[in-house]
Amino acid sequence: MTINRELFDQVMVPNYSPSAVIPVKGEGSRVWDQEGREYIDFAGGIAVNCLGHCHPALVSALKEQGEKIWHLSNVMTNEPALRLAKKLTDATFADKVYFANSGAEANEAALKLARRWALDKFNAEKSQIIAFNKGFHGRTFFTVTVGGQAAYSDGFGPKPGDIVHCDYNDLAAFEALISDNTCAVMMEPLQGEGGIVSPEAEFVKGVRALCDKHNALLIFDEVQTGVGRTGELYAYQGLDVTPDILTTAKALGGGFPIGGMITTTEIAQHLKIGTHGSTYGGNPLACAVAEAAFDTVNTPEVLNGVKEKEALFRELLTAINDKYQVFSEIRGKGLLIGGVVTEKYAGKAKEFLTEGVKEGVMSLVAGANVVRFTPSLVVPEADIREGMARFERAVARVVENNA
């Protein structure tokens, strides 16, 4: 059997369009494909591989737990899940944890909890969910409908109801929407997929105050921003605003699928026995790997390192841009960095990614106009410099192709 990109088109549902290369091995911030070509990884499996590939702490947690017990279901609890939950609650505002297997599932749980909370404490009319245009919350039907791109939720029949949207960073528009019938507000504390958009301090504080005024729960979707990505353990810790519910996934498992929803005891009590669940959620193997990732990331060295690496990334990207003028803005926080392409390259962010792969560097896009970098949080300085040298060659090619 020949395993190549053509086989993808034969045997896979065509909802993805993966690049031509097939990576087979990774170590730290480097990846090798089937032909043995080496790449520097600034994509990190879409902000997932927070410790790069095959980090020794994660490999040993996986092996150790793999020889003990893999799976039980929630008919039994397990030691890794309890340890991870204790660490998550010790490090955040939250008292309680619900484990899932992905970001979408963590958000699904958060939204269902918010609806139950409102029904138990208020009435059936209090069901409105407010979210933001260009926000992204996953691909289950509920979460994709809460997400702010109708194109992703259209065409699947009747949508879950009572969900409305307004623009991010538009406090006046938000104030016009919210009322005592609002049950929850779901937002990213820095929009990722939507183009690496930071919240203005006044906006995020205003949202919190209006949620308090109308007894609405504030849900922070930290699936992309969480576990060190912005240089804080969770982004809310750098915003001076505390949510009522927070969701975490992606970097939480460092590459092993896991998600979590965390909240206060007061709110959590509304997910009573039998109201929600998951066969795999909180599985010992996933929690053991996530515990090792969490322990490794949640240290001053790694979190401060993110801020230092951000500075180097920005410096090198700015130098490239001074030479080629392809970006109108370099934005983001920590190691969630976006380059907004200029008018000349409008809609062409993906060309930078494609040329990057040819030069041996992996990056991402966030929409059609933003090139996104989400490298490992422990990417060595030498790899940042070498990866950026390769990216510069990719930029030169894009400029040439569009001359």
Number of other residues whose CB lies within 10 A of the CB of residue 321? 18
CB 188 within 8 A of CB 221: yes
Q: Which residues pair with 247 in a beta bridge?
A: 221, 261
User: Which of 39, 132, 136, 234 contacts ligand PLP by CB under 6 A?
Assistant: 136
104 known ligand binder:
yes
Supply the minimum distance, in Å, between the C-beta of residue 138 and ligand PLP. Answer: 4
- For residue 44, is it left (φ>0), alpha (ψ between -120 and 50) or beta? left
Pairwise CA distance, residues 213 & 78, whole Å: 40
C-alpha 179 chain-centroid distance = 29
If binding is defined by CB under 6 A, does position 193 make contact with ligand PLP?
yes
Start-to-end CA distance of the chain, whole Å, equals 42
> How does strand 370-373 pair with strand 128-132?
unpaired
- Interacting stretch for ligand PLP, rule CB under 6 A, among 67-75, 101-109, 175-183, 312-320? 101-109
Q: In this structure, which amino acid lies at residue 280?
A: Y
User: Which of 104, 146, 239, 330 contacts ligand PLP by CB under 6 A?
Assistant: 104
Supply the minimum distance, in Å, between the C-beta of residue 276 and ligand PLP. Answer: 16
CB 357 within 8 A of CB 21: yes
Number of residues near ligand PLP (by CB under 6 A): 15
Interacting positions 60-99 with ligand PLP (CB under 6 A): none
If binding is defined by CB under 6 A, does position 138 make contact with ligand PLP?
yes
3-state secondary structure of 249: coil
User: Which of 153, 224, 296, 376 contacts ligand PLP by CB under 6 A?
Assistant: 224
CA dist 83 → 35, 253, 263, 284, 298 (Å): 41, 14, 17, 10, 15
139 known ligand binder:
yes
Q: Which residues are marked as active site?
A: 136, 221, 250
If binding is defined by CB under 6 A, does position 153 make contact with ligand PLP?
no
User: Which of 28, 44, 80, 103 contacts ligand PLP by CB under 6 A?
Assistant: 103
User: Which of 81, 249, 251, 267 contacts ligand PLP by CB under 6 A?
Assistant: 249
Residues lying near ligand PLP in the complex (CB under 6 A) are found at 102-104, 107, 136-138, 188, 192-193, 221, 223-224, 249-250
Residue ranges of the binding site for N(2)-acetyl-L-ornithine: 139, 278
